[in-house]
Structure 1
């Protein structure tokens, strides 16, 4: 593939695998970047699992700090919050294996299976997709798998799905591995479900996947790959398996996710100025993962959303409960990863696995001990979702796990984050008496530790130096002292491995190295003697992993809701309602409101089927883009269960969200602004429907004005026909004028105060109708300012063009009739809403009187306009007849041809403008 942006892209290959229980080898290698192959580029096949090593020949992910699957785990587990990767839209670095399979046909059915080796979760899905596989790519974006498995027969020749996934690799930040057809077997997948799913979930999952052949085949392929390629297996009844139907979530394409800054800021990947950064006050890694996933695929079930609203309202109004929950959540580690480490069984155990097993038990003990404070924090909860989480946490299985741990593990041992403390806790974790030699090994360890510490104290005394004892995972014990202690003398030669770090000197001695080795040997001996007790305990607690994982899911949900409550209590947010009408009073852009120093100007939004296509005009910098994006962002917030920045908000369920907003030229992909606009807009038109929301900002700006207007008008017509809710920001005033007569179309503009000479004040207020300011571009040019002679010449050109345009404009009966039909439809909709509303009798009576008055005034105005047009047409016809008679008479007398100027002459009848649109019935 050609280099992007003038740089050479790293070489990419796709490897085909045929895996059996004895060997795995590279059978096919297709090169994309270069035809030259050096020896360093050829993958080594001496290791049967080279896919997961740095020299793998698959399409490689850029280095992101992910631990290679082939490496043993380190002695000390990661206990800090995982660092967020910025290469895949803020996706956390996780080892997720995905398999994709498809049917054959015009409307393909695609099966997917994701297995997360870090969190012990499997997700199956089957999608009836379009020819562009938009929903499939969306799923891949949400889960960001590290490896994607595709059946080998799809690569030669390449299937359409294979090609589309291959194009999306850079966006997904993944690699492709081809897997032999024999591993994609439905019977094998069903056997895995029967064996690995939690006992309580087996029948539910089997019912859910019934008839979903392709997703089950993918599940079989993933688990066979994990078992034979990654040397990992899951014990029975240990895997969280769930089926995720595609119709249960909003579909948001990658371009929309980026342009709306849902999970990552456009200008800086590390910036928190995005929707995820705004809402992410989570305290656990589980909550953070759930929040990101929710933002990328919001819910479409109104009942579930109302349950979340109820829980969030209780958390945000009960201050004591809110702070108690936040306090209880703080100490939790990444419990999903802890439980997954417990259930995963290495096929070839190593000493590092034994060490990690003790770590896992200590972290499990830490986890179950933290549940009681959470139960106390949720005591008295009334919301059904909070009570369900409370019920999970109060399960009797939690006490059973505690009892099992207490039988084998010392009560005073606990998980520690510092390496030395953690090693000490591992050494004394298992209770005494399990093995007679275990106590001897611990005594040896204790003596070796004391010997090392005494050695350092003796060195300090002998050399008269303030030596500090330090410990890390690699060097174990080492010595540190301030560098200014050696200003007047050299460090004694007994010290080796000297290293200066800032204003400190770090070093060791040969005797200290020997003592470190003795400590390490004693520690390892203790672990080996403790291993049987630890593995027995691990096998016992696996029986209750179903409950433990469900508690983790409950904690993740509670953490996300508490994060929402943190935002709600610090901002003026309101609980939304689910309705058939989109109505927002005093809505604000959630991200812009947070980062700008001045007070944000709120605006109202109202959209129904009769006002579904809203054209927004206005000056540059008047706030059009901010307004349309705020509507989309508030919709996403409402459909993940959050409150929204407004005084009142009601939303219909949106199942697809599209945004085509202004962006710079995509130089990296060698695509111009206009080409990018057309490509994204074509995607929208292929997929939009009546349950979609579309945001269009400055369409057609990348080409000539005439072509841009024509294309924008054509696209606008298509979007009106789709019956989707559309916000269309544009500088084309003609588009607003032409589309104004269409049913379902309304015009709005962003107000600007330009009454003062050479000054424009942006009011950021949305008002009805098209923009009133004439030549706001010229006024802005004066403010900049451009040279006076340039501005004057521009004004002259504009005046000339406007004069020509005015001569060509004329109103017709068809336009007035279109307005009349639109007025009647608006009246019907208002009466229907009044019938379904909840106004009291007095209010309803006054409202109907006002509505009737407004309707009569506007209908009379249209009748008068029709009469004037007809009168004008009659006068023109009479004038033509008079001219014809006069010309005929003159011709008879003088026998000369009539003057063409008289034949074409028309009398201009002034047509009064229609009455301005009152607010109740719209434009």
Structure 2
């Protein structure tokens, strides 16, 4: 399962990179033709627009990321986009081909998940004018560098050859089937691999690349704004804080597990079978304490296996002494990593979950034992990873077994003698001058002499003899050397270089043999990452009281809690219930400021994300439908980059939601329409609500427009909720509980203003203005044509009811006649009092009522009553 992590530092732009005509350059090809187009600012030349500020990479993960992406767009009417991602640190390659909408929402989602630092695009998409896709990428990924390259490098046949050449042997057939008709994805792969080879000077060994195809389906679609607002991977206030969903769930022991967790948080699953399998694992780990602790203990010794395997399969175009040193280190680390696999197998003894059984079986692969035997045949049994500079140097020197290479044994003897001579020389200086010198070692300086000033004073030596040179004082210690010691260091360096170069030939032969079996290690790495992530979920369950969710057609949460706020506030967080079915899918939430509306919206969305990554959720009970799209409209930020106001951004995001939402979507909207005038804002909000109701999506809509609850009350699926507030005189107490019905609290804004100590004179004037406006509004409402029409209709309905009762009564004809005359006179007076509210319906009702007075027979009265009743119906 490929995982791509985000970079942990800010990407800095490099000079323009150029493709050379040669397939494997020996020198840096930057600056040559035909590939050009990237200025030093990190963006293609785009005219007079100012350079875009680099976006800080999230600090959510503790592993570096170097992801290069390529985009190849089709030229037809349908927006067909091919994507290729290569992670230089983990040797993972992901292909995807998407038939997208005109807003490229799925393409941007995929790019956001992998977060590349460089994005390759055909030069024809940038000149003479930018394509629509390029503009959208620049707007949504300002931290990435767009690299225009010649269209000829997007070559589908060459991409197909790369698949044949680099894919792991056991994955080749399945990958070939998956990409058989993916023209644009293969074209993007060709450009991406060629760029990595010529720009980053990195090749991959044959049959060594973890290449996979990911369709756009099978995962929840989350747009960029929602990722930011929900704080999925980064806290809004402090990017370095762990107060994000990733930070709350991340208790992983390995870098591989952290990368997989981040990928799943940004791309939750929609496959019910996979989710149930993960939940089974978490439940089993929570229920079996001894297994849980054994798994955690077995995972802790693992280092970054992804990066280690990548270092082994990568073939650099520039072989240096540093490369030889790193290659020896990598083999020793691999030896240590393989020894960490059996404890994982033992920790999973007796497991029942299918996924845990599959991970356990991966640890039994015979190829792993074969790799271990190959390493033991070449590397010394006691060679382990060392941290000190001198110990690390000795480790590299003596890593290869004696007898493997005779000349190497001779070179090591020379190194040993030179090292001993340097140490003996320092001891000779101490004996000759009577000063307790101590020998120290640094990788950059070699051996040098160190002593403390107190030792110098104790020996009654005013200063060091002239033979000691480069005397400096560091951290209260005196450091120096001599010409003889410098010569010894040079001899040690020469002998070490000879040892490393001879060892490199043996190590490279060993690495070539390991590459033929490396697919087994990749599988184990992926299994360990999955186990680490699920164990992290189990850890969260035990410390924060999470429960297993169910997947049904109804969204039902009992005592749900906001996971991030709970982690910050602990016991102070107040839980809430949520219920949304087909008859309550559109929920309007009103309430005072600071009463918890926005937190409640985010809480529901976060719990849905947690459930669909296969984790337990913070609640007493939880049931979720499978959500395929998650949208939000919460932020209220101006965009200086795009010269957009709050309202413009609000309308743009709302339009995007309306275009993309369907019955499988979950939408949270907070305070739509507040970026413009009250009248226009309400009109737009009401129209948007009407459109969202028609989509069939589950919508949580927080607003201060209390009129929405009345205007939409008769729409199917619409219900009203409010956040409770306890009023005590002029004081208000927020209860942070969501209850049924609309909000009835009045003037809560004034009470909040009083609570924050607004000046008394200003507050008094605000109260007066508020009541005056309220009185005027009531008067206007009473005198408005709409109010008059409503009152007229109410009178007509009352008249209808009165006449119906008379029709069904048993009054004598004379009594009935007098009673009808009184009803007529009273009705006419009431209608005249409405000051001109006699519309056609009213006039017709009056005329029909008047005929009652002119009739002389009871039978005619009965007919007139029937006529009026018919008119009213």
The match for 2:739 is 767
Return the alpha-carbon distance in structure 2 between the equivalents of residues 611 and 642 of structure 1.
26
Q: Does 1:589 align with 2:562?
A: yes
Greater CA deviation, 187-196 or 577-586?
187-196
Aligned to 1:740, the other structure's residue is in SS state coil
Seen in structure 2, the aligned counterparts of structure 1 residues 718 and 904 have a Cα distance that, compared at 3 Å, is closer
Within-5 A mapping of 1:743-758: 743-754=716-727, 756-758=728-730
1:878-923 Cα shifts (integer Å, max 9, x gaps): 9996389789xxxxxxxxxx9997655999xxxxxxxxxxxxxxxx
Aligned CA-pair RMSD: 3.4
Greater CA deviation, 9-18 or 528-537?
9-18
Return the alpha-carbon distance in structure 1 between the equivalents of residues 433 and 51 of structure 2.
53
Seen in structure 2, the aligned counterparts of structure 1 residues 719 and 410 have a Cα distance that, compared at 3 Å, is same
Larger-Rg structure = 2
The match for 1:697 is 670
Return the alpha-carbon distance in structure 2 between the equivalents of residues 521 and 763 of structure 1.
75
Seen in structure 2, the aligned counterparts of structure 1 residues 798 and 332 have a Cα distance that, compared at 3 Å, is same
Q: TM-score, normalised by structure 1?
A: 0.79
Greater CA deviation, 125-134 or 339-348?
339-348
Return the alpha-carbon distance in structure 1 between the equivalents of residues 527 and 681 of structure 2.
51
Greater CA deviation, 89-98 or 480-489?
480-489
Which of 145, 154, 157 in structure 1 is aligned with 2:116? 145
Q: Does 1:162 align with 2:144?
A: no
The match for 2:599 is 626
- Cα distance, 1:463 vs structure 2: 5.7
- Cα distance, 1:686 vs structure 2: 2.3
Greater CA deviation, 671-680 or 522-531?
671-680
Aligned to 1:609, the other structure's residue is in SS state coil
Seen in structure 2, the aligned counterparts of structure 1 residues 763 and 537 have a Cα distance that, compared at 3 Å, is same
1:756-808 Cα shifts (integer Å, max 9, x gaps): 22321111111001112111112222323334454444334333433444466
The match for 2:95 is 124
- Cα distance, 1:464 vs structure 2: 5.9
**Mapped contact 1:112–1:124 kept (Cα < 8 A):** yes
The match for 2:361 is 391
Which of 417, 431, 434 in structure 2 is aligned with 1:447? 417
Q: TM-score, normalised by structure 2?
A: 0.84
1:162-181 Cα shifts (integer Å, max 9, x gaps): 232233442xx222222323
Aligned to 1:381, the other structure's residue is in SS state coil
- Cα distance, 1:495 vs structure 2: 4.5
**Mapped contact 1:276–1:292 kept (Cα < 8 A):** yes
Which of 247, 252, 256 in structure 2 is aligned with 1:286? 256
Seen in structure 2, the aligned counterparts of structure 1 residues 461 and 153 have a Cα distance that, compared at 3 Å, is same
Which of 771, 795, 798 in structure 2 is aligned with 1:871? 798
Seen in structure 2, the aligned counterparts of structure 1 residues 749 and 491 have a Cα distance that, compared at 3 Å, is farther
Return the alpha-carbon distance in structure 2 between the equivalents of residues 91 and 703 of structure 1.
43
- Cα distance, 1:669 vs structure 2: 5.6
**Mapped contact 2:36–2:149 kept (Cα < 8 A):** no
- Cα distance, 1:237 vs structure 2: 1.5
Return the alpha-carbon distance in structure 2 between the equivalents of residues 12 and 240 of structure 1.
27
List alignment gaps of at least 5 residues for structure 2. Answer: 1-10, 44-49, 788-792, 804-819, 843-873
Q: Does 1:617 align with 2:590?
A: yes
Q: Does 1:882 align with 2:809?
A: no
Return the alpha-carbon distance in structure 2 between the equivalents of residues 207 and 94 of structure 1.
29
Return the alpha-carbon distance in structure 1 between the equivalents of residues 572 and 348 of structure 2.
37
Aligned to 2:572, the other structure's residue is in SS state coil
**Mapped contact 1:16–1:177 kept (Cα < 8 A):** no
**Mapped contact 1:60–1:174 kept (Cα < 8 A):** no
The match for 1:477 is 447
Return the alpha-carbon distance in structure 2 between the equivalents of residues 178 and 140 of structure 1.
17
- Cα distance, 1:327 vs structure 2: 1.2
**Mapped contact 2:251–2:539 kept (Cα < 8 A):** yes
The match for 1:426 is 396
Return the alpha-carbon distance in structure 1 between the equivalents of residues 53 and 410 of structure 2.
48
**Mapped contact 1:17–1:180 kept (Cα < 8 A):** no
Greater CA deviation, 351-360 or 11-20?
11-20
**Mapped contact 1:584–1:648 kept (Cα < 8 A):** yes
Return the alpha-carbon distance in structure 2 between the equivalents of residues 644 and 671 of structure 1.
38
List alignment gaps of at least 5 residues for structure 1. Answer: 1-8, 33-40, 44-50, 52-58, 65-84, 816-865, 888-897, 908-923
Seen in structure 2, the aligned counterparts of structure 1 residues 11 and 207 have a Cα distance that, compared at 3 Å, is closer
Which of 653, 657, 671 in structure 2 is aligned with 1:684? 657
- Cα distance, 1:741 vs structure 2: 2.2
Seen in structure 2, the aligned counterparts of structure 1 residues 142 and 469 have a Cα distance that, compared at 3 Å, is farther
Return the alpha-carbon distance in structure 1 between the equivalents of residues 177 and 614 of structure 2.
28
- Cα distance, 1:218 vs structure 2: 1.2
Seen in structure 2, the aligned counterparts of structure 1 residues 696 and 886 have a Cα distance that, compared at 3 Å, is closer
- Cα distance, 1:212 vs structure 2: 1.4
1:164-199 Cα shifts (integer Å, max 9, x gaps): 2233442xx222222323322222222222222122
Within-5 A mapping of 1:203-242: 203-242=173-212
- Cα distance, 1:288 vs structure 2: 1.0
Return the alpha-carbon distance in structure 2 between the equivalents of residues 744 and 480 of structure 1.
80
**Mapped contact 2:71–2:188 kept (Cα < 8 A):** yes
The match for 2:845 is none
- Cα distance, 1:17 vs structure 2: 4.5
Aligned to 1:649, the other structure's residue is in SS state strand
Which of 328, 335, 348 in structure 2 is aligned with 1:378? 348
Within-5 A mapping of 1:86-485: 86=57, 92-157=63-128, 158-170=130-142, 173-460=143-430, 467-482=437-452
Seen in structure 2, the aligned counterparts of structure 1 residues 15 and 236 have a Cα distance that, compared at 3 Å, is closer
Seen in structure 2, the aligned counterparts of structure 1 residues 30 and 295 have a Cα distance that, compared at 3 Å, is same
**Mapped contact 1:134–1:253 kept (Cα < 8 A):** yes
The match for 1:544 is 517
Aligned to 1:349, the other structure's residue is in SS state coil
Return the alpha-carbon distance in structure 2 between the equivalents of residues 441 and 647 of structure 1.
69
- Cα distance, 1:633 vs structure 2: 0.8
Return the alpha-carbon distance in structure 1 between the equivalents of residues 356 and 175 of structure 2.
25
Seen in structure 2, the aligned counterparts of structure 1 residues 781 and 435 have a Cα distance that, compared at 3 Å, is closer
Within-5 A mapping of 1:716-727: 716-727=689-700
Report how many residues are paired: 791
**Mapped contact 1:15–1:176 kept (Cα < 8 A):** no
- Cα distance, 1:135 vs structure 2: 1.5
- Cα distance, 1:29 vs structure 2: 5.6
Aligned to 1:219, the other structure's residue is in SS state helix
- Cα distance, 1:485 vs structure 2: 5.8
Seen in structure 2, the aligned counterparts of structure 1 residues 318 and 31 have a Cα distance that, compared at 3 Å, is closer
Greater CA deviation, 779-788 or 423-432?
779-788
- Cα distance, 1:504 vs structure 2: 4.3
Which of 513, 527, 531 in structure 2 is aligned with 1:554? 527
- Cα distance, 1:466 vs structure 2: 5.8
Seen in structure 2, the aligned counterparts of structure 1 residues 792 and 247 have a Cα distance that, compared at 3 Å, is same
Seen in structure 2, the aligned counterparts of structure 1 residues 716 and 879 have a Cα distance that, compared at 3 Å, is farther
Within-5 A mapping of 1:806-885: 806=778, 870-871=797-798, 882=825
Greater CA deviation, 217-226 or 307-316?
217-226
- Cα distance, 1:700 vs structure 2: 2.2
Return the alpha-carbon distance in structure 2 between the equivalents of residues 731 and 683 of structure 1.
23
Return the alpha-carbon distance in structure 2 between the equivalents of residues 486 and 667 of structure 1.
64
Return the alpha-carbon distance in structure 1 between the equivalents of residues 502 and 19 of structure 2.
40
Return the alpha-carbon distance in structure 2 between the equivalents of residues 474 and 615 of structure 1.
67
- Cα distance, 1:525 vs structure 2: 1.3
Seen in structure 2, the aligned counterparts of structure 1 residues 903 and 264 have a Cα distance that, compared at 3 Å, is closer
Seen in structure 2, the aligned counterparts of structure 1 residues 463 and 745 have a Cα distance that, compared at 3 Å, is farther
1:84-109 Cα shifts (integer Å, max 9, x gaps): x7358769532222111011234301
- Cα distance, 1:753 vs structure 2: 0.8
- Cα distance, 1:290 vs structure 2: 0.8
- Cα distance, 1:458 vs structure 2: 4.3
- Cα distance, 1:392 vs structure 2: 0.5
Seen in structure 2, the aligned counterparts of structure 1 residues 704 and 312 have a Cα distance that, compared at 3 Å, is same
